[in-house]
Amino acid sequence: MADRYLSFVASRSGALLARRLGLPRPVRLRRHEPGAPPVPGPVALGHTENARAVKPLRAVLDSLGAAVEPDPVRPHALLFDATDITSTAQLAELHAYFHPRVRSLAPCGRVLVLGTPPEAAATPGEAAAQRALEGFVRSLGKELRDGSTAHLLLIAPGAEDALESTVRFALSARSAYVSGQVLRLAPGGAAAAEPADRDRPLAGRTALVTGAARGIGSVVAEVLHRDGARVVCLDVPGQAEELTAVAGRLGGTALALDITAEDAGRRIEDHLREDHDGGLDILVHNAGITRDKTLARMSADRWQAVLGVNLIAVERLTEALLPALRDGGRIVATSSISGIAGNVGQTNYAASKAGLIGLVQALAPAVAARGITVNAVAPGFIETRMTAAVPLLIRQAGRRMNSLGQGGQPVDVAEAVAYFASPGTGAVTGQVLRVCGQALLGA
């Protein structure tokens, strides 16, 4: 369903009225378009005296074709390398850099701060200073206007050369609905060689997407196909017609089955063996259901149905398909901000989505030796047929209660999945990325 308020304030008369009444004035976000430059305007780059990531960061900016200028008039991005801040007194350098520049940021601009994981700090003072970066970035993200966003990238010592994929995502329109979030780069997860075609980094890889017949799942399949992957589209038999249409449009294959079935793993393996040489590179757990009721009114059937699809089946399928997943593979699960912050009437759903986060965090180190990464996306309010059925006032609250003042699009979730699926994102694992416009709920 269209966001009529967003359309209204985007008009000249609507913007004027909203300004006079002090109403929120969200702007239409700039999203990725094939062929568009990843960094559409000049960027400013600041750093402390001994910042350890500034050289590799500058190399990444050059590879992205970004024009780095000392003080551009309307910068697309403001970047600051704070990796060597070792005392709380040095935090004044953040203020000194951003205070005179932040108002000049172009619409749909980006702020990117680079830091060091606090747990890698040598002293309590350094840990305090580096943890302070998180509060700074989350707050700045809520102050930015005109569709601009802020990101914090924590780079463990030894991971400086794995910046490219994450910086590309953070600075580009692919991260339009992600703000105020923290991503960590760990050593030992070396990025793969740069793809021959940066616009098709998944060329030659096979991806399986569950729940692919419609909604977010179908768009995830489309984006992975756009990036070069061969896609296996999976959904329940009741969605077979829509599923076949999606797979046909993408030149992929359709597999209609219930993921809660005892033989689901075996049947997927058989399909991969028959149509995809038996191998799998990307496993996207997107299928999910809701059966909302307050706990006092929730039947055992409602509870078990949601846990069965959203969590238990994911755990079983992952275990069954790990042998088929090639070294360097990617597993991405779809969690939810409900699994982080909870939600009235969703004890079953929130439990399942929080369980996925636990699964991701525990599985990541267990498969790291094979170069496999395991991550999760946590969508907020996304404009789908499901949210279109939400009562009007609740729907409007869901759209406005975030820093960007609007609901996200399925493609926003899909872009985050594609980022995690990229061969260059090998240094990022065991993490949860919220795709929620920096919702006011949760962290």
Edge-to-edge order in the sheet of strand 110-115: 43-47, 77-81, 110-115, 149-155, 181-185
Amino acid at 226: R
Taking the C-alpha atoms of residue 337 and residue 121, their distance in angstroms, rounded to an integer, is 29
Cβ-count burial of 295 within 10 angstroms (0-12 exposed, 13-18 middle, 19+ buried)?
exposed
CA angle 387/393/396 to nearest 5° reads 60
Rounded to the nearest 10°, the torsion over CA 303, 307, 308, 313 is 180
CB-CB contact of 155 with 53 (8 Å): yes
CA nearest 379: which of 141, 216, 137?
A: 216
- Cβ-proximal residues to 63 (8 Å cutoff; 6+ apart), any chain: 164
DSSP E strand stretches across 41-124: 43-47, 77-81, 110-115
Reply yes or no on whether 419 is catalytic.
no
Taking the C-alpha atoms of residue 336 and residue 332, their distance in angstroms, rounded to an integer, is 13
Residue ranges of alpha helices (H) inside 199-239 are 215-226
Read off φ and ψ for residue 336, nearest 5 degrees.
-170, 155
CA nearest 435: which of 240, 145, 411, 426?
A: 411
- Cβ-proximal residues to 124 (8 Å cutoff; 6+ apart), any chain: none
CA nearest 41: which of 106, 86, 90?
A: 106
DSSP E strand stretches across 131-223: 149-155, 181-185, 206-210
Q: Which of 5, 97, 177, 349 is catalytic?
A: 349
Cβ-count burial of 65 within 10 angstroms (0-12 exposed, 13-18 middle, 19+ buried)?
exposed
DSSP E strand stretches across 40-120: 43-47, 77-81, 110-115
CA angle 235/236/238 to nearest 5° reads 125
What six digits make up the tokens of 413? 């979730």
SS3 at position 437 = coil
Residues noted as catalytic: 349
